[in-house]
Chains A and B, each alone.
Chain A
Amino acid sequence: MRLTLTVNGERHDIDAVAGTESLLSVLRRRLGLSGAKNACEQGQCGSCSVHLDGVLVCACLVPAPQAHGRSVETVEGLAGEDGPHPVQEAFLACGAVQCGFCTPGMLKSTEDLLRRCPDPGEAEIKDALAGNLCRCTGYGHILDAVRLAAARTRALEARP
């Protein structure tokens, strides 16, 4: 089928998309957006997390045809013209990146959390990241980064 979708604000028409193809495959192989990672293909690791019409999903578990006419936001869309997203800056500041493979998914889950819940408690943070595995086990710094990102986002929003 011919798939039409918007990715990070840009419209794409993609031909010959198979019914069995995943949204992740379309993003990585057809559009060359390699930020969302292909790892478990079971929804266990969260490294392919993206927003689909504003809802955080594992792109590996979304049949590509279901994204027809919909809007996708990937980690590539996080940074703006004036630099990295506050969540990205917080991960850098806290050293919350080791090998980096899980980082795009962690960034998307953190962004999703702060959209829903600007002042998250510990339980909310852990629930938000429960679907994202870090094989380097760098969770301590990652949790620090989420707390910092939350504080900075609130500070930015409080500014007149």
Chain B
Amino acid sequence: MVDATPRMHEGISPAEVPELELYHPKGWWTTYVFSQDAKIIAIQYAGTAMAIGLVALVLSWLMRLQLGFPGTFDFITPDAYYQFITMHGMIMVIYLLTALFLGGFGNYLIPLMVGARDMVFPYVNMLSYWIYLLAVIVLVASFFAPGGPTGAGWTLYPPQAILSGTPGGQDWGIILMLASLILFIIGFTMGGLNYVVTVIQGRTRGMTLMRMPLTVWGIFTATVMALLAFPALFVACVMMLFDRLLGTSFFMPALVEMGEQLSYGGGSPILFQHLFWFFGHPEVYIVALPAFGIVSDLISTHARKNIFGYRMMVWAIVVIGALSFIVWAHHMYVSGMHPWFGFFFATTTLIIAIPTAIKVYNWVLTLWRGDIHLTIPMLFALAFIVTFVNGGLTGLFLGNVVVDVPLSDTMFVVAHFHMVMGVAPILVIFGAIYHWYPKITGRMLDEWMGQFHFWVTFVGAYAIFFPMHYVGLVGVPRRYVEIGESAFIPPSVQDLNAFITVAALIVGFAQMVFLFNLFWSLRYGREAGGNPWRATSLEWQTPTTPPPHGNWGDERPVVYRWAYDYSVPGAPQDFIPQNDPWPQKAVAGTA
């Protein structure tokens, strides 16, 4: 075993620029509402994301009721069903997962973990949240608009997205959806620039890049990717809006709708798919990389052991981030693009499995010879590995071009992406909330409710999505309101669907317990103290908990070591905080 720990405080340079005075809020409104404190903004982001996420959860119940018991619920018409799946998908991917990981965890953790007082552009950071909120309001407004929200599927493929055969296509639905996405991207860009510049410029003395916790690496890389990927979606949205409102034909060829020649001509529906997935595939990793980073820190802290192969973990994050920009067309093997693209994209897609597999190995090798505390965050981290490995491996079916042909557009795909980018990252979000709630509020979340929430969510979600792969293997296509009579589909598939629906309702109920716990523990939770998990990274070393505006009191911390000094031989405790100069005494003038 090679010792790679940068342990000594090899020459910590003095600060080069004097600290700037932070903006001091004067009243209640500027402290708690129009706040420029990244921690408040983080809570605003997280609260909004979870609120809209609840809408997505209810939509998933409605669509599962239809699939499990078709014909039982009269109000779920085909129109309504397509509106439910569309809004569920878009909310979960963009307005919940992206916003919560980057806007929520990014805002809370980046400044604290790198030893900054705040984000570098606090005012822009505040604007970012309010534009995000506006995007959410526009999205919700489409539920109340004439014709209802769009039912084009979350991929919004033209031409159907803007034609009358699709709910909301010729009404307000698609317009509000595109407007909301455009707003979201504007707001995100403001926040994203902050996260990137803060990581590059805002680190405290001694916090070298290779001493940063993997959480910061994950969020940082994901944000860089998002800044590069979202513009593709942005232009696609603007162009489709023009097609819909101004009669341009970016994505619209000459076509005949219901026997009538439309005035479009010359556009390319496949161009939209390329733009969408040039954003859409990196988006998968924009959600996954923060989860990778966070789960590394959860495992390391709760197994009392350094993350295994830290340098390899950092490089794996960066390599995955880079490769994810050249795999997008694996979503389009049967789209009608030139079939030779299949060779290239299948190869790049399977190559990306290698750095991803390295991450999995290093997580489980961190457990090896650890001192595993089965806390709630640790349980969620373990469940993440199970579901992520499962979902990642089914990705090898779908990425391997010819194997994808029979499976594409079936329920197998739905099961795959829910397992890998629905269940797995959400389990990390839960683990992270149980882990950092004590820092945010000063109190622990209730353990008993946490155990209940964990077991029902993990076992329940697995029971939903593992069998769903087999519905797809039978050949049941995705986005079907009902299977109907089909000779090749045995009637027992309907029983399996009913089982999945019941499991989904139970898992949904467990989330209500979680939400209750969030509020209940705020008041009645056990007092946590500053560092209840005895963790090394800087956010646990703040002078006061919860940390106030400015985070650090008079002096910012000085960093002497990486974030993973757990169970170091000879050390007085089984963890050494990053700002602890052990075995040296702090040198006067540097600390």
Partners in one complex: no
Residues of A within 8 A of B (CB): none
Residues of B within 8 A of A (CB): none
